Amino acid sequence: MEMEKELNELPVLQTGDLICQTSELPASKSLRFVLISPYGPRGAFLLHYQGHFRAYLNKCLHLPVTLDYDTGDFFTGDGCQLLCQTHGALYDPLTGYCNAGPPIGLSLVPVKISVRQGSVYLEQRPEDFPSGTFD
């Protein structure tokens, strides 16, 4: 399967691992990675927006596809919203809330991170994902 091949090409991170230096991720850009979940490896992404860093699972809430269609491009052309490349749903980068498109009113699954001394770390523990996250 193409998605599994794509996951194999991304860095696999565990709780406490460095994702990147803050200086390495420009504004309105993102970085994909794989994290370990209770159900095996799952795609995720880190974004930098308006001086803030957020991370989410790379999973559309409407269909079982990645938001970026495996391109690494999550933002709209103007860099103001996240876009599901499959059906055009729009999500707020800071909250993950879907404000337009089929899953309107739902939010992307956040991934816990921390920013310390110019570095972004993965803080999500596999057991901390809400039940039903991977259904």
**70 vs 110, more confident:** 110
CATH architecture, range 2-74+109-125: 3-layer Sandwich (2.102)
Q: Which residues pair with 18 in a beta bridge?
A: 121
pLDDT score for 5: 45
- In the three-class reduction of DSSP (H, G, I as helix; E, B as strand; rest coil), residue 94 is classed as coil
Question: Rounded to an integer, what distance in angstroms lies between the CA atom of residue 124 and that of residue 114?
Answer: 10
- Spell out the residues 6+ positions from residue 132 whose beta carbon is closer than 8 angstroms to its own: none
pLDDT score for 6: 61
Residue 49 predicted with pLDDT over 80 = yes
- For the entire predicted model, the pTM comes to 0.91
Q: How many CA atoms lie within 13 A of 94 on its CB side?
A: 6
